[in-house]
């Protein structure tokens, strides 16, 4: 005999238990709200978060993006205090190795980053070529841009000149175990009564009298709640369609297939100990140290690279040989001794990408239904502040505030700076200042 469906209740249902969904659960539970995170994966962080590069950086294309990221970075530096409880698996370690953004005469984005860092009092220094050589002797100084693919004969041209140097902040870094960060957040939320349901697929966003009333799961179980938050990562568009709000949103999201690759550190270089996060639009790649003295490589989504939008439940998870060689060869332009290993190692997963590559933190036209979406690829680092902003937004709107006409402005708990939630509106026009790439 089949089990009889159950009904439970909560103040807030959070669809998704990735890093942002778990961060929101901790924030709301700490404020006294009863929460249930629902995820069809088997554990927190088992979706796209598990394969995040988990880079903590502040090099965004907009003032609001940099401001948000700088506030978000403080959570990682104060992680134990933020979690506020023990985790039997241990707490993540934030590797504050620093971040270097390469600069050249043809890259206005890097100069814009430096201007924003100065404006927001983010510690940084400008490094000329001599200083780059002293501190990072493994970096090639050639200028090869704009980024090209190996099948383009110009890819193999000699450098057209030299880069001008870089801007460096000591506060950037990475987390080597992004799934553990979700488990930490889960334990923090549970310490305040937060609940989690795994292996649970949402099949209906339930509505009544013009607002959300909860969700129904495969198998028939229901969770009644006056507030439901879509934090479903690459499945966000599917959930929005289920809720009937997809068409009303001016900015929409889709699932983008993406690869990152792992290669051994160059001979004689302990990249795990002395490497930094590098962002390089001239060559078209980024990298960070990886455990086991490896280098993690990714693409900055150059305009010459095709973008493959996919069904989040049906896509090729194998490493593409052409993509592997392209990314590793690009990295060799900047790190000459890297080489091209015979064994292809890397991960394939999905980004949840909005039309302008900026996240959407907002309410929707369905009262009680909220979204924290378009986040994967460049928002892992902002999980803590996203949790605060979404909690502030939900409390304001449920308290009667008209966010669509008078956007909520809150204050970062670490920096004390204003955070304009309206910047992340679903109703915005495509932001012309965005890089339209993983940079955000």
Contact criterion met (CB below 8 Å) for 202 and 15:
yes
CA 439 to chain centre: 10
Dist CA 209 CA 333 (whole Å)? 60
Q: Tokens 């933190």 belong to which residue?
A: 361
**Measuring CA to CA, which residue among 184, 180, 199, 177 is closest to residue 37?**
199
**Of 269, 324, 265, 258, whose CA–CA distance to 291 is shortest?**
265
Three-state secondary-structure class, residue 15: strand
8 A C-beta contact, residue 337 and residue 136? no
Contact 52, 174 (CB under 8 A): no
Digits of tens for pLDDT over the chain (440 positions)? 457 899 999 999 999 999 999 999 999 999 999 999 999 999 999 999 999 999 999 999 899 999 999 999 999 999 999 999 999 999 999 999 999 999 998 888 899 999 999 999 999 999 999 999 999 999 999 999 999 999 999 999 999 999 999 999 999 999 999 999 999 999 999 999 999 999 999 999 999 999 999 999 999 999 999 999 999 999 999 999 999 999 999 999 999 999 999 999 999 999 999 999 999 999 999 999 999 999 999 999 999 999 999 999 999 999 999 999 999 999 999 999 999 998 999 999 999 999 999 999 999 999 999 999 999 788 999 999 999 999 999 999 999 999 999 999 999 999 999 999 999 999 999 988 888 888 77
Query: DSSP string spanning 277-315?
Result: EEEETTTTEEEEEETTTEEEEEE---TTS---B-BTTB-
7-90+177-252+356-424: CATH class: alpha beta
Give me the pLDDT at residue 1, please: 44
In contact, 99 and 168? CB cutoff 8 Å:
yes
Distance of CA 168 to CAs 98, 135, 184, 260, 293, Å?
7, 11, 30, 23, 22
Q: Which long-range contacts (CB under 8 A, 24 or more apart) does 87-91 make?
A: 87/183, 87/184, 87/187, 88/187, 89/180, 89/183, 89/184, 90/180, 91/180, 91/184
Q: Give the predicted TM-score (pTM) of the model.
A: 0.97
* Spans of all domains in the chain: 7-90+177-252+356-424, 99-170+257-349
Contact criterion met (CB below 8 Å) for 403 and 380: no
pLDDT, residue 432, reads: 87
Contacts 24+ apart (CB under 8 A), 312-315: 312/234, 312/235, 312/238, 312/255, 312/350, 315/255, 315/257, 315/350
DSSP state letters, 28-96: HHHTT--EEEE-SSSSTT-SGGGG---EE----SSHHHHHHHHHHHHHHHTHHHHH-S--TT----EE-
In a 3-state reduction of DSSP, which class is residue 258?
strand
Identify the CATH assignment for 99-170+257-349 out of 3.30.9.10, 3.90.550.10, 2.40.110.10, 3.40.190.10: 3.30.9.10
294-299 and 165-169 beta bridge pairing: unpaired
CA distance 103 to 86: 42
């Amino acid at each position: 005999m089949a089990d009889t469906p159950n009904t439970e209740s909560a103040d807030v249902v959070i669809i998704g238990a990735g890093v942002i969904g778990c961060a929101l659960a901790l924030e709301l539970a700490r404020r006294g709200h009863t929460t249930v995170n629902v995820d069809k994966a088997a554990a927190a962080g088992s979706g796209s978060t598990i394969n995040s590069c988990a880079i903590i950086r502040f090099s965004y294309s907009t003032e609001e993006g940099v401001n948000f990221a700088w506030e978000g970075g403080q959570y990682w530096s104060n992680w134990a205090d933020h979690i506020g409880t023990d985790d039997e698996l241990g707490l993540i370690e934030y590797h504050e190795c620093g971040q270097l953004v390469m600069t050249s005469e043809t890259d206005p984005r890097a100069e814009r980053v430096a201007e924003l860092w100065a404006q927001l009092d983010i510690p940084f220094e400008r490094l000329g070529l001599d200083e780059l050589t002293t501190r990072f002797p493994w970096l090639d100084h050639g200028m090869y841009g704009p980024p090209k693919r190996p099948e383009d004969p110009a890819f193999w041209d000699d450098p057209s000149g030299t880069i001008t140097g870089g801007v460096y902040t000591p506060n950037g870094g990475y987390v080597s175990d992004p799934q553990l960060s979700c488990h930490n957040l889960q334990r923090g939320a549970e310490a305040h009564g937060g609940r989690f349901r795994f292996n649970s697929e949402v099949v209906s966003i339930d509505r009544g009298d013009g607002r959300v009333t909860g969700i129904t799961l495969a198998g028939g179980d229901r969770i009644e709640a006056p507030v439901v938050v879509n934090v479903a990562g690459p499945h966000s568009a599917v959930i929005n369609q289920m809720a009937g709000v997809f068409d009303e949103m001016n900015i929409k999201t889709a699932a983008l297939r993406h690869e990152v690759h792992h290669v051994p550190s160059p001979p004689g270089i302990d990249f795990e100990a002395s490497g930094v996060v590098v962002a390089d639009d001239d060559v078209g790649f980024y990298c960070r140290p990886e455990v086991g003295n490896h280098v993690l490589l990714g693409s900055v989504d150059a305009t010459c690279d095709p973008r493959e939008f996919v069904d989040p439940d049906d896509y090729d998870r194998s490493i593409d040989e052409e993509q592997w060689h392209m990314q590793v060869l690009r990295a060799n332009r900047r790190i000459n001794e890297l080489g091209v290993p015979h064994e292809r190692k890397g991960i394939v997963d999905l980004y949840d990408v909005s039309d302008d590559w900026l996240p959407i933190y907002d309410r929707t036209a369905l009262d009680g239904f909220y979204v924290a979406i378009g986040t994967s690829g460049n928002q892992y680092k902002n999980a803590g502040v996203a949790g605060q902003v979404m909690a502030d937004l939900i409390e304001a709107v449920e308290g009667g505030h008209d966010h669509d006409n008078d956007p909520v402005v809150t204050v970062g708990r670490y920096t004390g700076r204003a955070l304009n939630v309206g910047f992340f509106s679903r109703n915005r026009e495509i932001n012309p200042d965005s890089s339209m790439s993983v940079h955000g």
